[in-house]
Chains A and B, each alone.
Chain A
């Protein structure tokens, strides 16, 4: 079993929809949680970064961490065709913050 599980999708939604992307994990030592966005044939770029539990909002994006359930989410409001990409969750424990552990990524398609 992988340390981080993520549904690969694809997830197809109409423009303007609210998108929910999720990851579950098994290592209770994970403390730092990230969401990366990766466009086709490009490298991943950091979208959101959260430490421990709680919510964080940045524009149309909201990241949530529920450590008791070992579950993290990324919500995208008013989704746009330009949001079409693969979204990867990543996390690290506090004792080794250099080695990012990634989910497999969820491919999102937002159609006009």
Chain B
């Protein structure tokens, strides 16, 4: 079946603009995760959803970052007033449920802030 999909695959924006990144999880997966991968930093956890609720938002770096999930499916990560340090690959993952279930990753959105 289809894996996790993310759009756009690449995004170039100007400093100060808002961006929205989209994630479509594997059908039937109730848990959804956002991570950020920066050069030399590895993957950093941002937020996770169980259904439409976000029990853990501890990784969001600032209040410019927000995320929502609707219908227990698609999720959007929004970055307001982008800064150059926001440039990174944003990865989404989903799993059958929360807890010790395998997280399946999408290909990521490469964000470049000029």
Contact = CB atoms under 8 A, between A and B. Distances in A.
Range for the number of chain B residues in contact with chain A: 20 to 34
B42 A102 contact: yes
Interface string A76-112: 0000000000001010000011111111110000000
A42 interface: yes
Contact of B98 (A45, A46, A98): A98
Contact of A99 (B42, B48, B102): B48
Interface of A: 4, 6, 8, 32, 41-46, 49, 88, 90, 96-105
12 contacts: A43-B4, A43-B91, A43-B106, A43-B108, A44-B43, A44-B91, A44-B105, A45-B104, A46-B103, A100-B45, A101-B45, A102-B44
